């Protein structure tokens, strides 16, 4: 249905070029006509006039016709006469005009009953008139209306074009549409979020109390029972009035909809004409805005990924570009995380039966929901999209008291993940998190760690998880290109709490660990080798567990501690091999 057309209660269509059957019955000889049946369809719209000269006339109908006949071609076939009514209704014809008393004296009762049921008017024409006496005045009136309609349409088009050229934006388009139609207007995006409404102190006074965003959200909800309604015009009863919706589409893309609400269901062609032209201008405005936003986003994303991939080597350059491109304060510490759709390529392959843009909408929704949830949890969070993932940069204060501990960041990421998946249940999400680095020039390391946590964490433990780089444990040594530095960091992470103990206790704890592993984790043998009581070894093991937060009874924790101990020994030997005091 074109935007300027009306769907009436009886299924009829009204356009700017037509007139209703009731209006036609006041023109020329038609004023002498008599409605035999189908009177409830008098508001059906006539857009053309045709004469029936063949039994298969239905094959030539395009809709909106006033069909004139003397019933000659089917005068002896009452079934064909009844079938003619159904054929006309199904083809969208406006009415049937018949001349009686020449070839047939009356129409069969079944034909009239069916016309009443369908609301298709059957008009008895005066027998003394020629068809041209009907054709000429009706077509003249239609042409006059067409000319007036085109003039009005052009004026409205120029009006909205002027609004667009002045750069007043979506709200001005809504306000002007409200003024022209005496209705209430909103523009929403594809997700149903309100982008603009027309009512403001400088605009036209609404006919009734203005609808708020929540009302428009309810209106969108009433339109989305059928998924196809997002891509075609819709007219629907709502809250005692009429809700009109027209898609904002360009090419194969749909950018949103214009909504128009009228308290009264009595409306004319001007409403649809204005709605159509407002939709065209609003679409151009959204396309322009999206192009600008996409360009800005591309520059911001390119900068962020240049920074995180180590392509920017100067700290001041990084800070200056961050301020100019995104008003970001990169002098603050940030935690780097990556949220990614699990196996999205497989999901895409499974979805081949659906429209191509369905998977794109899933991806767009995922990126939008992640950004919304992250920024809601931690203000000033930076989110940048790449393919089917979102890189999240959580900011903190100089001390970074929050989010510094891995468990705190994992808890935050899990909350964001849950919020997104509650609204996007078709897919699962995994999140990889890098370690804390305060300085901006260290963030490439954090980004690499987040990617490793995401990639290898999913391989080790499966999808639908939140993985911190530290969770990789000894896998970090196998996967990381960090070499000596990574080994030192790993050993300090595991055994640092013991190194910070006072000297006598520190020595006792490390000696106990050495013997514990040397004796294959047999406490009695370790106690004998240390010349101490068994309970002393048990007490020291418990002390080590408490200081490190690990459990030497757990096989993975035990592996991490033993590996850290071996690295510590290796690094000590390396220092001995070099001259004393030389750094590794």
Distance of CA 136 to CAs 20, 131, 509, Å?
A: 16, 9, 109
| Measured distance CA(434)–CA(392) in Å, rounded | 11
Mean pLDDT of 261-280: 78
Q: What is the pLDDT of residue 390?
A: 94
The first and second tokens of residue 385, run together, are 């999209």
With beta carbons less than 8 A apart as the criterion, state whether 85 and 114 touch: yes
Q: What is the pLDDT of residue 342?
A: 87
Three-class DSSP labels, 16-62 = CCCEEHHHHCCCHHHHHCEEEECHHHCCCEECEEEECCCCCHHHHCC
| Measured distance CA(16)–CA(568) in Å, rounded | 86
- At 266, is the secondary structure helix, strand, or coil? coil
Structural domain boundaries of the chain?
A: 6-146, 167-291, 313-472, 484-577
- Regarding predicted confidence, which is higher, 528 or 294? 528
- The pLDDT-based confidence of 218 (bands split at 50, 70, 90) is confident
Q: What is the pLDDT of residue 199?
A: 64
| Measured distance CA(164)–CA(341) in Å, rounded | 39
- The pLDDT-based confidence of 189 (bands split at 50, 70, 90) is confident
- Regarding predicted confidence, which is higher, 147 or 67? 67
Residue 364 CA, chain-centre distance (Å), reads 6
Residue 58, pLDDT > 70, answer: yes
DSSP readout, 476-535? HHHH-TTTHHHHHHHHHHHHHHHHTS-HHHHHHHHHHHHHHHHTTT-HHHHHHHHTS-HH
With beta carbons less than 8 A apart as the criterion, state whether 432 and 340 touch: yes
Q: What is the pLDDT of residue 286?
A: 85
- The alpha helices in 351-440, defined as continuous H runs, are 356-377, 406-423
- At 419, is the secondary structure helix, strand, or coil? helix
The first and second tokens of residue 254, run together, are 């749909």
- Tens digit of each residue's pLDDT (9 = 90 or more) over 30-46: 899 999 999 999 989 99
Fold match flag (6-146 vs 167-291):
no
- The CATH code belonging to domain 313-472 is 3.30.70.270
- Regarding predicted confidence, which is higher, 25 or 438? 25
Mean pLDDT of 246-271: 78
> Strands, E, within 397-469: which ranges?
429-433, 466-468
Residue 316 CA, chain-centre distance (Å), reads 37
Residue 415, pLDDT > 90, answer: yes
Q: Which residue, 266, 259, 196, is CA-closest to 229?
A: 259
The count of other CB atoms within 10 Å of the CB of residue 361 is 13
| Measured distance CA(130)–CA(99) in Å, rounded | 10
Q: What is the pLDDT of residue 175?
A: 86
- The pLDDT-based confidence of 347 (bands split at 50, 70, 90) is low
Architecture of domain 484-577: Orthogonal Bundle (1.10)
- The pLDDT-based confidence of 346 (bands split at 50, 70, 90) is low
pTM of the model: 0.53
Q: What is the pLDDT of residue 5?
A: 35
| Measured distance CA(469)–CA(432) in Å, rounded | 7
With beta carbons less than 8 A apart as the criterion, state whether 569 and 563 touch: no
6-146 carries CATH number 3.40.50.20: no
- Tens digit of each residue's pLDDT (9 = 90 or more) over 470-514: 888 777 766 665 567 777 888 888 888 898 888 888 899 999 988
Q: What is the pLDDT of residue 229?
A: 53
Distance of CA 512 to CAs 123, 492, 504, 516, Å?
A: 108, 18, 12, 6
Distance of CA 40 to CAs 10, 119, 122, 292, 507, Å?
A: 8, 5, 11, 52, 101
From the candidate CATH numbers 3.40.50.1980, 3.30.450.40, 3.40.50.720, 3.40.50.9100, the one assigned to the domain spanning 167-291: 3.30.450.40
Quick one: residue 581, left, alpha or beta (phi over 0 = left, psi -120 to 50 = alpha)? left
The mean of the pLDDT values for the chain is 82
132 φ/ψ angles, rounded to the nearest 5 degrees: -65, -25
């Amino acid at each position: 249905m074109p935007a300027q057309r009306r769907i009436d209660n009886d299924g009829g269509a009204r356009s700017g070029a037509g007139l209703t059957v009731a209006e036609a019955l006041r023109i020329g000889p038609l004023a002498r006509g008599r409605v035999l049946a189908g009177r409830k369809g008098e508001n059906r719209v006539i857009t053309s006039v045709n004469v029936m000269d063949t039994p298969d006339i239905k094959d030539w109908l395009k809709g909106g016709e006033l069909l004139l006949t003397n019933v000659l071609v089917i005068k002896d076939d009452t079934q064909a006469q009844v079938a003619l009514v159904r054929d006309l209704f199904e083809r969208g014809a406006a009415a049937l005009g018949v001349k009686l008393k020449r070839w047939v004296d009356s129409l069969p009762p079944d034909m009239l009953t069916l016309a009443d049921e369908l609301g298709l008017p059957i008009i008895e024409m005066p027998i003394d008139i020629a068809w041209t006496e009907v054709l000429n005045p009706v077509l003249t009136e239609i042409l006059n209306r067409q000319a007036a309609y085109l003039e009005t349409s052009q004026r409205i088009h120029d009006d909205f074009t002027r609004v667009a050229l002045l750069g007043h934006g979506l709200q001005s388009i809504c306000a002007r549409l409200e003024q022209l139609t005496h209705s209430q207007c909103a523009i929403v995006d594809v997700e149903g979020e309100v982008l603009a409404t027309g009512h403001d102190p400088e605009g036209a006074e609404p006919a009734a109390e203005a609808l708020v965003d929540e009302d428009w959200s309810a209106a969108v909800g009433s339109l989305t029972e059928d998924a196809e309604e997002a891509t075609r015009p819709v007219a629907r009863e709502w809250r005692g009035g009429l809700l009109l919706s027209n898609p904002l589409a360009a090419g194969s893309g749909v950018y949103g909809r214009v909504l128009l609400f009228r308290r009264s269901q009595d409306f004319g062609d001007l409403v649809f004409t204005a709605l159509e032209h407002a939709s065209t201008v609003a679409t151009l405005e959204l396309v322009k805005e999206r192009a600008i936003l996409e360009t800005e986003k591309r520059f911001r994303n390119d900068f962020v990924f240049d920074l995180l991939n180590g392509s920017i080597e100067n700290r001041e350059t990084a800070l200056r570009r961050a301020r100019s491109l995104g008003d970001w304060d990169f002098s603050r510490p940030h935690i780097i995380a990556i949220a990614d759709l699990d196996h999205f390529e497989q999901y895409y392959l499974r979805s081949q039966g659906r429209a191509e843009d369905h998977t794109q909408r899933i991806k767009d929704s995922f990126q939008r929901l992640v950004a919304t949830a992250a920024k809601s949890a931690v203000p000033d969070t930076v989110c940048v999209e790449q393919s089917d993932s979102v890189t999240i940069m959580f900011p903190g204060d100089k001390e970074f008291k929050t989010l510094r501990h891995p468990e705190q960041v994992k808890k935050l990421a899990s909350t964001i993940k849950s919020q997104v998946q509650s609204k996007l249940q078709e897919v699962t999400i995994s999140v990889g998190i890098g370690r804390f680095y305060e300085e901006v020039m260290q963030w490439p390391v954090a980004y690499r760690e987040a990617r490793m946590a995401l990639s290898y964490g999913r391989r080790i433990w499966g999808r639908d998880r939140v993985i911190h780089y530290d969770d990789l444990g000894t896998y970090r040594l196998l996967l990381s290109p960090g070499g000596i530095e990574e080994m030192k960091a790993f050993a300090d992470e595991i055994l640092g709490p013991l190194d910070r103990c006072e000297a006598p206790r520190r020595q006792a704890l490390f000696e106990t660990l050495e013997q514990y592993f040397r004796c294959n984790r047999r406490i009695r043998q370790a106690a004998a080798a240390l010349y101490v009581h068994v309970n002393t070894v048990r007490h020291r093991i418990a002390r080590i567990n408490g200081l490190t937060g690990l459990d030497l009874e757990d096989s993975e924790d035990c592996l991490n501690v033993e590996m850290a101990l071996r690295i510590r020994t290796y690094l000590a030997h390396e220092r001995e091999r070099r001259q004393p005091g030389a750094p590794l």
